[in-house]
A = this chain, B = another copy of it.
Amino acid sequence: MATFSCPVVSFAMKCSYGSSSNGNHGDYRVDISVNGSASTRPVKHHALVNEIALKSPTSLANIQFLENSNEKIRQRIPTKKLLVDPYRRGLIVERGVGYRQTVVVRSYEVGADKAASLESLLNLFQETALNHVWMSGLLGNGFGATHGMVRNYLIWVVSRMHVQVDRYPIWGEVIELDTWVGASGKNGMRRDWIIRSQATGITYARATSTWVMMNQQTRRLSKMPDEVRGEISPWFIEKQAIKEAVPEKIVKLDDKAKYVHSDLKPKRSDLDMNHHVNNVKYVNWMLDTIPDKYLESNQLSSIILEYRRECGSSDSVQSLCQPDEAEISVMNGRPLDMIYGYTHLLRTKGETRNEEMVRGRTRWKPKI
């Protein structure tokens, strides 16, 4: 580990809720009986599962096997590269290595202004990234780890995310999400996204992110094993969704921050497949600290996140937020205070010391 060379200086992990996150969740139900509900199609796969169950109904090892079989039948994760997925409306583009998915903005993904929320966009980024790995035939588990990563007990952790939004898609609008990956230094991976209007081709949003590998047992960063590089590097593209000459440095806030929300706690529904608090939830903690009045007349145009530390399920989290100094402008003869940026910090609030989880920087523009 001493010679580890990683392009990201800050170290980040997703929120962990226990020492194990290998995807074998003990509480996953085994539901092998065919229930009595009306069925409109022949029951293809359950016969097999029932047969296995009848042979040795009490063995714990068999139950584990059945869980996995049942999941496999229901998920049907491809074992080799797929070019088109009609259910996801996904296809492989960019000469065979990028992924494009067409999505309709759903009624529950928009807010009171009928526009998709930032949370919805981040959710779609996660979804398309995972579907990209899904279609590549490399998917070993739920969070985008390849078979080689699973063999080496490695998981992905996000260290940085930068999102720029020119325009928010609205309810019912058809959008196209493109995503692709590239190298980031020797041991990291970059993942980018672009959201376009399907009707006009106009770009609505762009995002870039950096990921590194962590040993899920030692919780330490890891080099990228040659086996894994061999799996993923054929998918790398040079193209960048956001050109960043010099990445912006984010100041670390302290107790003097203007707005502080304390005692934030992860809820049960904040946990995702990996028993982690999903990083999208972090963003909500940040944005909820900005005054309502400001958000009524402004919309987010960019956010940069630097993930630094995981938080525990029992951690109490503080969200700090500091507006940039207001610029005085004049509109219709009246002076206006205009704030275009906020600096953010999420930290755990311990008895003796606080620890940084995420630094953030948001930029805003007036709603027209």
* A contacts, CB < 8 Å to B: 17, 25, 27-31, 34-35, 37-46, 71, 73-77, 87-89, 102, 104, 106-108, 110-115, 117, 119, 123, 126-127, 130, 134, 142, 166-167, 169-174, 196-204, 206, 267-269, 271-275, 278, 280, 284, 288, 292, 295-297, 299, 367-368
- Asked if A271 contacts B201 (CB within 8 A), the reply is no
Select which of B41, B45, B87, B111 is within 8 A of A104 by beta carbon.
B87
Inter-chain contacts of A171 with B (CB < 8 A): 75, 142, 273
Instruction: List residues of chain B with CB within 8 A of the CB of A174.
Output: 76, 87
Q: Return chain B residues, CB-CB under 8 Å to A34.
A: 202
CA distance A51 to B84 in the complex (A): 39
Is B74 in contact with A199, judged by CB distance below 8 angstroms? yes
In the assembly, what is the distance between CA of A173 and CA of B110, in Å? 24
A216 CB, min distance to chain B CBs, angstroms: 16
Instruction: List 25 contacting pairs A-B, 8 Å CB cutoff, sorted by A.
Output: A27-B297, A27-B367, A28-B115, A29-B367, A30-B368, A31-B167, A34-B202, A35-B202, A38-B203, A39-B203, A42-B200, A71-B114, A71-B170, A73-B199, A75-B170, A75-B171, A75-B172, A76-B174, A89-B89, A107-B272, A108-B127, A111-B269, A111-B271, A134-B172, A269-B284
Q: Are A25 and B113 in contact (CB under 8 A)?
A: yes
In the complex, which residue of chain B has the Cβ closest to the Cβ of A176?
A: B40
Once the chains are docked, how many angstroms separate the CA of A87 from the CA of B106?
Answer: 12
- Count chain B CB atoms within 10 A of each CB in A30, A115, A368 and give the residue with the most: A368
Instruction: Indicate whether A87 sits within 8 Å of B87 (C-beta atoms), given known contacts A107-B272, A271-B112.
Output: no
How many copies of this kind of chain does the complex include? 2
Known contacts: A75-B170, A113-B28, A199-B74. The answer to whether A107 contacts B119 by CB under 8 A is: no
Please state if B107 and A40 are interface contacts (CB–CB under 8 Å): no
Smallest CB separation, A343 vs chain B (Å): 21
CB pair B126–A108 under 8 Å, yes or no, is yes
Residues from chain B with a CB closer than 8 A to the CB of A134 are 172
* Cβ-defined partner of A127 (8 Å) among B107, B169, B199: B107
Structural contact, B45 and A273, CB atoms closer than 8 A: no
Given contacts A172-B134, A202-B46, contact A272 B75 (CB under 8 A): no
- Would you call A74 and B197 a contact (CB within 8 A)? yes
| A25 CB contacts on chain B under 8 angstroms | 112-114
Contact status B29-A74, CB under 8 Å = no
Q: Which residues of B contact A202 (CB under 8 A)?
A: 34-35, 37, 39, 43, 46
Q: Across the interface, which residues of B come within 8 angstroms of A77, CB to CB?
A: 172
Distance between A282 CB and nearest chain B CB, rounded to angstroms = 14
Task: Name the distance in Å between A133's Cβ and chain B's nearest Cβ.
Answer: 11
